[in-house]
Amino acid sequence: MKSLIAFSLILIFSITSTFAQSQPCDCKLDLDFLVEKMKGMPSYKKQIKGQKLVEFQNTYNELSSKMTSSVSVSECFRMLNQQLMVVTDFHAKVKANDSYLSEENYYDEDKQQAFLNSDTFIKHPRTTLELTNLENELKNKPKHSIEGVYNYGTQIVSGIYKSDENTIVGVILSSAIKIWEPGQIQFIAKKNQFGKYDMFTYHNRSRQLLMVKNLTFENGRLWSYKKVGNTLNFETRINNKSNWDFKQINDNVQYVYFGEFSSFTTDNRKAFKNFYEKHKNSFTAKHIIIDLRSNGGGNKKLSDPFIKLLKKSRAKVYVLTNCYTGSNAEQFTTKLKKIKGAVHLGQTTYGSLAYGINYGTSYDMPSGHFRVVPTDMNFHRFFNYEGHGITPDIKLDFDRDWIEQTLEIIESNS
């Protein structure tokens, strides 16, 4: 493993100048613009005081000193996110504007080939390690270790290994996708203060720079990466045909699935109305399972009406969550847990419920390469959960169906 560590030191050193897009960027103007927008966020106003203000200013000074000359777009993106993440607010974002293949062009062979001939693709950082040896080393890692060989979707196999105690690197081992080649570095991720990972990576098709924050590693899964040989996916709900589902499991148990509470689309708002009207008098069982797995949140106008119905039913409520349950779905979880006798099961939630985005306004930065999406909603009363997530009363096993496990718990309680 010494060869891997040696390589990692070389890789981390070269990341600052060659990771992804290498065109120059006047990053200082963007940093100042970002700080100005951050100062208007409720999370900044609540948190950046005393020692935290000193940390914020020190980070700004440190980053500014590295921006006396132009830096690469990718390095600027990384540094802007470093400043943003001084504030604990997992809704606030810095996004990259530059895409290198549109959805349409991704499926156009000529456009794909043009991308393969571009500097963005040719200069993408690659490992100097012999891939077969790397793969063989990673295959022997323990099942519980984050290091190992992973499937990324159905067409890419990736290797993930530690470069230091808090940093992991993902490299392509094999790919059936033209725009990703074996040996290319797919991501670098660092462990944050919550024991989760903040990942600096790319969109799989457009190659747009991404910062994906606060990722949980459990059951051989890290975001879209799943360990080879680990085919158990009981922590997720498969075949989600609708965001709204009601089932009568037996005489004593009913099941309700809420896929998301987003009010952005007319279809989901309409589906909510129809579901609510159809089932507002249906909650009659002694036990009701509320499935919030992978519910990314949305608008409380689509979630909170069910609190009143569940309280009125006098049922014992069982709430299922996973690490992708976030935002308003987490706030909804805390409200469900206050119902007398409620039990929270599954996996700790994502941890993004103390702030929010109402208007969704984003602002392009002076360079044009990035935009900031500041938060404008204040739910600071949930701050103790921000980053940490909500820990269930009962953690369910990853090797058996979660509904079946819940039914067993209901039976034992009865």
What is the pLDDT confidence band of residue 241, given thresholds at 50, 70 and 90?
A: confident
- How many Å apart are CA 273 and CA 293, to the nearest integer? 21
Q: Name the domain boundary from 199, 227, 255.
A: 227
| 369 in a structural domain | no
Tell me: do 404 and 288 sit in the same domain. yes
Mean of pLDDT values over 301-319: 97
Q: Are residues 294 and 335 in the same domain?
A: yes
Backbone angles phi, psi at 27, to 5 degrees: -75, -25
Q: How far is CA 155 from CA 66, 169, 178, 202, 208, in A?
A: 38, 19, 10, 16, 19
Residue with tokens 């590295």: 66
> Is residue 89, in this structure, part of any structural domain at all?
yes
Overall average pLDDT of the 308-325 stretch: 97
Specify whether 271 is located in the same domain as 203: no
Q: Are residues 217 and 255 in the same domain?
A: no
Task: Evaluate if pTM is beyond 0.85.
Answer: yes
Same domain, 272 and 397: yes
Q: Are residues 66 and 120 in the same domain?
A: yes
Q: For residue 359, is it within any domain?
A: no
Question: Three-class SS of residue 22?
Answer: coil
* Distance in angstroms (rounded) separating the CA atoms of residues 204 and 212: 13
Beta-bridged to residue 169, according to DSSP, are: 161, 188
Whether 92 contacts 83, CB under 8 Å: no
Name the least confident of 78-92, 201-215, 237-251.
237-251
> Which residue among 227, 257, 288 closes a domain?
227
63 CB contacts (<8 Å, ≥6 apart)? 31, 79, 82, 83
Q: Would you call 159 helix, strand, or coil by DSSP?
A: strand
Q: Is residue 352 part of a domain?
A: no
Q: What's residue 153's pLDDT?
A: 92
Q: What confidence score (pLDDT) does residue 70 get?
A: 82
Does residue 255 contact residue 403 with C-beta atoms inside 8 Å? Answer: yes
The residue among 192, 227, 262 that closes a domain is 227
Question: Residue 5: pLDDT band by 50, 70, 90 thresholds?
Answer: very low
Task: Express each pLDDT in 76-124 by its tens digit.
Answer: 999 999 999 999 999 999 999 999 988 888 999 999 999 999 999 999 9
Residues 27 and 173 in one domain: yes
Please provide residue 298's backbone torsions phi and psi, each rounded to the nearest 5 degrees: 145, -130
- Taking the chain, what is the end-to-end CA distance rounded to the nearest angstrom? 53
Q: Dump pLDDT digits (tens) for 268-305.
A: 999 999 999 999 999 999 999 999 999 999 999 999 99
Residues 6+ apart with CB under 8 A from 290: 256, 258, 310, 317, 318, 319, 320, 336
**CA-closest candidate to residue 127, choices 189, 170, 77:** 170
CATH number, residue 319: 3.90.226.10
Q: How large is the C-alpha radius of gyration of the chain?
A: 23
Rounded percentage of the chain residues whose pLDDT exceeds 90: 86
For residues 115 and 100, the answer to whether their CB atoms sit within 8 Å is yes
What pLDDT is attached to residue 238? Answer: 78
What average pLDDT does the structure give for the chain?
93
- Does one domain contain both 128 and 265? no
Looking at the structure, tell me whether residues 342 and 213 fall in a common domain.
no
Confirm whether 30 is domain-assigned. yes
**Same domain (yes/no): 74, 197:** yes
Among residues 357, 359, 368, 361, the alpha carbon closest in space to that of 33 is found at 368
Q: Does one domain contain both 393 and 328?
A: yes
Residue with tokens 């006396």, as numbered in its chain? 68
Domain count, the chain: 2
- Same-domain status, 46 and 104: yes
136/296 Cα distance (integer angstroms):
37
Tell me if 361 is assigned to some domain: no
Q: Is the pLDDT of residue 1 over 90?
A: no
For 339, the token pair is 């119902």
Instruction: Name the residue with tokens 């156009």.
Output: 108
Q: What is the pLDDT of residue 69?
A: 83
Residue 262, token pair as written in the block: 């987003």
- The reply to whether 95 falls in a domain is yes
Rounded average pLDDT over 31-38: 98
Domain extent, residue 223, equals 2-227
Residue 414: which pLDDT band, with cuts at 50, 70 and 90? confident
CA 351 to chain centre: 10
* Nearest residue to 75 (alpha-carbon basis) of 37, 120, 24: 24
Name residue 297's amino acid.
G
